[in-house]
């Protein structure tokens, strides 16, 4: 029988002092939106929220999902034949023509910059085979990435279905997912784009409706939205230093200013604190593990000055196995859990490697030896 590994929690909690962290965002920060949220991209931590989990109509910020599905389809260089149905979509449009042939890549730019409902239908028909087929893909992706209070009924956000809704928090989750894609990042942050216009002797020129790209120097992208029932909706992103934020507002008559206000509060109130540094773990003194354990990545987390003394790290390790000492490969032997005020906020695997420290020293010795031999004129063969 295979031995069952027992998880041994070492009562080893390392308190970390984190310096130079600004004060917390003022809890009284007010926004005009019915729902709002400010999210840090790397960790997903919510820095500010107002009624963020209430289901509401979302209008054209729906197109963030349409865009990322198109990008992930692998069909961006394919040519799309625009249907009659697509050209008859109501509302905002880039004025596609029936039978027109245009690359999917151009359609996604028209979707994100000009919020073309005709481009949304054309994309959906090409990527999903039909509107219904694409809507199915939208809802599958929503479940996959954790949008638990969302249901999509169309690719554009028009008020033609009663069961088309999301929340401010879910839309932040979607934007966080989408911003991991380099192509989406580029499209989302483009201010002006030119696309071919086959029936004219001039190219189409699309200017981004996201005015925050010009109004706020730290803005990196986003998507606007409006319908009579949803009112104004807006999702944007902003970067300052090593902090990347996402802001979402639903039903907000003052959305540009509210997004700037949330960003300024976030940048002033939080900093990205390095709670755990990648590399060797020195804190564990157990003779079996000592000098063999390491983590492959640093853990950073947005924190306020009030939280500076509330971080701790707990190392949870499996019961030692003799085979680890004979293995040349790295073995996952547990995890490092980052706690903030007693709650786990991040985790990362702990790896075991045989004679890791000796290997490092040997490598340095060999390097020095090679330099010495080259100086005195001795080649590698003596």
Q: Crossing angle for the helix pair 63-72 and 168-178, nearest 10 degrees?
A: 30
- Residue tagged active-site, from 93, 115, 166, 261: 115
Mapped onto helix, strand or coil, the DSSP state of residue 97 is coil
Is 296 part of the annotated catalytic residue set?
no
Beta-bridge partner residues of 331: 352
CA distances in angstroms from 272 to 19, 221, 265, listed in the order given: 11, 21, 14
**Neighbour count for residue 323 (Cβ, 10 Å):** 8
The tokens of 365 are what? 């010795």
Among residues 192, 228, 224, the alpha carbon closest in space to that of 208 is found at 192
Q: Is 223 known to sit in a ligand binding site?
A: yes
Residue with tokens 């028009």: 158
Burial 329-368 (b: 16+ CB within 10 A, else e): eebebbbbbbbbeeeebbebebbbbeebeeeeeeeeeeee
Q: Quickly list DSSP for 4-73.
A: PPPEEEEEEEEE----S-PPPPPTT---SSSEEEEEETTT--EEEEESTTS-B--GGGGHHHHHHHHHHT
**Neighbour count for residue 208 (Cβ, 10 Å):** 24
Is 63 part of the annotated catalytic residue set?
yes
- Residue tagged active-site, from 35, 50, 63, 92: 63
The tokens of 258 are what? 């509210």
Element (H, E) at 337: strand 331-340
C-alpha 310, offset from chain centre: 26
Q: What angle do CA 23, 300, 141 make, to 5 degrees?
A: 110
Whole-angstrom distance, CA of residue 323 vs CA of residue 325? 5
Give the catalytic positions in this structure: 60, 63, 115
Binding residues for substrate: 223
Q: Which residues are annotated as a binding site?
A: 223
């Amino acid at each position: 029988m295979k031995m069952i590994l027992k998880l041994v929690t070492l009562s080893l909690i390392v308190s970390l002092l984190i310096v130079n962290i600004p004060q917390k965002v003022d809890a009284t920060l007010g926004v005009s939106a019915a729902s709002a949220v400010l999210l840090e991209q790397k960790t997903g931590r919510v820095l500010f929220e107002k009624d963020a989990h209430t289901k509401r109509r979302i209008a054209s910020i729906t197109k963030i999902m349409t865009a990322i599905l198109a990008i992930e389809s692998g069909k961006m260089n394919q040519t799309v034949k625009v249907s009659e149905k697509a050209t008859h979509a109501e509302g905002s449009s880039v004025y596609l023509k029936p039978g027109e042939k245009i690359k999917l890549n151009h359609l996604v730019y028209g979707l994100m910059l000009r919020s073309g409902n005709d481009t949304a239908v054309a994309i959906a028909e090409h990527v999903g085979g039909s509107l219904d087929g694409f809507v199915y893909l939208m809802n599958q992706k929503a479940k996959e990435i954790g949008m638990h209070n969302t249901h999509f009924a169309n690719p554009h956000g028009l008020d033609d279905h009663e069961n088309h809704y999301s929340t401010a928090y879910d839309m932040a989750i979607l934007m966080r997912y989408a911003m991991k894609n380099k192509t989406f990042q580029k499209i989302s942050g483009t201010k002006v784009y030119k696309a071919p216009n086959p029936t004219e002797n001039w190219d189409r020129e699309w200017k981004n409706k996201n005015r925050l790209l010009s109004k706020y120097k730290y803005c990196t992208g986003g998507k606007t939205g409006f319908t009579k029932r949803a009112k104004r909706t807006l999702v944007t992103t902003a970067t300052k230093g090593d902090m990347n934020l996402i802001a979402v507002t639903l039903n907000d008559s003052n959305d540009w200013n509210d997004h700037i206000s949330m960003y300024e509060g976030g940048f002033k109130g939080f900093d990205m604190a390095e709670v755990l540094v990648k590399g060797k773990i020195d804190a564990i003194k157990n003779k079996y593990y000592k000098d063999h354990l390491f983590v492959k990545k640093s853990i950073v987390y947005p924190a306020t000055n009030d939280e500076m003394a509330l971080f701790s790290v707990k190392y949870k390790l499996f019961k030692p196995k003799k085979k680890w000492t004979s293995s040349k490969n790295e073995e996952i032997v547990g995890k490092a859990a980052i706690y903030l005020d007693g709650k786990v906020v991040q985790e990362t695997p702990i790896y075991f490697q045989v004679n890791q420290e000796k290997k490092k020293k040997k490598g340095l010795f060999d390097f020095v030896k090679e330099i010495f031999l080259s100086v005195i004129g001795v080649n590698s063969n003596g």
